């Protein structure tokens, strides 16, 4: 509809300009006839006949016609070039949309694989480890005062089983956020930040969230969670911050479209290097956000901390 309106406006402007040209021509003809401009020009140029100045009006007329032809050729070339560029822009937009769909599909497949792997680790391997531990505990209880070597072996089995249990539990947390499917994004982020705070008591973390976040889609939940998870890892490894603030809310933009706004800021060491060439964690953040049609801004200055500002369209995966 907007394209049709622009085309109509362009056509009206062309007709108006053409009317101005015709009206100006008629007015100039009347002016020339009234003051006999041709006769006056001829009288002025007659003394300079040897320089052929009386031929100047014809030459100027030909020059005007030639310039008109030149302008027409340039306009036609400009139209061809404009049509070609519009076609290329359309093709580029389609390619970008396809890349975004592929990125979103890749993220979805990756999370599905992680969910399946987490389920297998929990259901299959976890049950067998529990069975091994139960048998080892039974052997330990039976052989307390009888066979010291068997008793020692049972204790070793129990220790190894506990270690494998802890390893699997850590893998499950990495593969699939604890409570995200059952309890929602709010509880999962609270659990993530609480565990991180326990391991990093020197940094005071503050988590601010709206009350209406549990209705978000699967991809939005995972994207927000993974961004917070990666940001916490970066703070642990590089920032050496004393304060960390995480804010997650739903806001409406100027067009009254709802957006998910996630902001993570710390007062750590920061960096003055080019962030676009950062590590794989930052690249992964950007790929996830762009796959959902969102925008992520990463800002940092040496000595002034690190700030990640992410804006995601609400229900982008359904769109």
Is residue 107 exposed (0-12), middle (13-18) or buried (19+ Cβ within 10 Å)? buried
* Whether pLDDT at 257 is above 70: yes
Give the distance from CA 186 to its chain's centroid: 23
The region of weakest confidence among 8-12, 14-18, 64-68 is 8-12
Q: What is the pLDDT of residue 164?
A: 77
Q: What is the pLDDT of residue 162?
A: 80
27-47 burial, b if ≥16 CB within 10 A, otherwise e? eeeeeeeeeeeeeeeeeebee
* Whether pLDDT at 197 is above 70: yes
Average pLDDT over residues 42-69: 72
Q: What is the pLDDT of residue 86?
A: 92
Condensed to tens digits (0 to 9), the pLDDT of residues 80-95 reads: 999 999 999 998 888 8
Condensed to tens digits (0 to 9), the pLDDT of residues 14-49 reads: 778 778 777 877 787 777 777 777 677 667 766 766
Q: What is the pLDDT of residue 277?
A: 41
Instruction: Give the other-Cβ count within 10 Å of 174's Cβ.
Output: 10
- What's the pLDDT band for 319 if we cut at 50, 70, 90? very low
Average pLDDT over residues 50-63: 68
Going 52 to 58 to 61 to 63, the CA torsion angle's sign is: negative
Q: What is the pLDDT of residue 54?
A: 61
Write out the DSSP string of 274-294.
Answer: -GGG--HHHHHHHHHHHHTT-
Average pLDDT over residues 258-284: 72
Instruction: Give the other-Cβ count within 10 Å of 264's Cβ.
Output: 22
Pick from 116-130, 167-181, 192-206 the range whose average pLDDT is largest. Answer: 192-206
The C-alpha R_g of the chain, in whole angstroms, comes to: 37
The region of weakest confidence among 103-107, 217-221, 225-229 is 103-107
Could you give the dihedral angle defined by the CA atoms of residues 236, 239, 243 and 245, in that order, rounded to the nearest 10 degrees?
A: -80
Q: What is the pLDDT of residue 62?
A: 77
Q: What is the pLDDT of residue 278?
A: 47
- What's the pLDDT band for 10 if we cut at 50, 70, 90? low
The residues that bridge with 299 in the sheet, in sequence order, are 307
Question: DSSP state, 214?
Answer: T
């Amino acid at each position: 509809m907007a394209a049709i309106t622009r085309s109509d406006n362009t056509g009206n402007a062309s007709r108006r300009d053409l009317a101005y040209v015709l009206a100006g021509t008629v007015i100039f003809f009347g002016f020339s006839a009234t003051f006999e401009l041709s006769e006056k020009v001829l009288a002025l140029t007659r003394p300079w006949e040897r320089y052929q100045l009386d031929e100047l009006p014809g030459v100027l007329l030909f020059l005007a016609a030639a310039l008109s032809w030149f302008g027409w050729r340039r306009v036609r070339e400009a139209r061809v070039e404009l049509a070609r560029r519009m076609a290329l822009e359309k093709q580029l937009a389609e390619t970008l949309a396809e890349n975004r769909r592929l990125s979103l599909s890749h993220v979805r497949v990756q999370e599905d694989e992680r969910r399946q792997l987490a389920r297998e680790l929990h259901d299959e391997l976890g049950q067998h480890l529990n069975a091994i531990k139960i048998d080892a505990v039974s052997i330990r209880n039976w052989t307390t005062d009888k066979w010291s070597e068997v008793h020692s072996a049972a204790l070793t089995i129990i220790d190894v089983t506990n270690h494998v249990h802890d390893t699997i539990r850590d893998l499950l947390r990495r593969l699939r956020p604890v409570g995200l499917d059952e309890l929602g994004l709010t509880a999962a982020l609270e659990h993530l930040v609480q565990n991180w705070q326990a391991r990093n008591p020197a940094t005071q973390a503050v988590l601010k969230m709206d009350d209406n976040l549990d209705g978000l889609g699967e991809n939005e939940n995972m994207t927000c969670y993974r961004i917070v998870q990666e940001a916490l890892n970066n703070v642990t490894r590089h920032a050496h911050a004393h304060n960390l603030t995480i804010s997650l809310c739903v806001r409406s933009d100027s067009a009254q479209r709802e957006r998910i706004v996630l902001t993570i800021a710390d007062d750590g060491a920061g960096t003055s290097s080019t962030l676009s060439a950062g590590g794989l964690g930052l690249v992964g953040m950007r790929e996830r956000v762009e796959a959902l049609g969102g925008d992520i801004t990463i800002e940092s200055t040496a000595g002034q901390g690190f700030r990640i500002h992410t804006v995601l369209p609400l229900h982008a995966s359904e769109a």
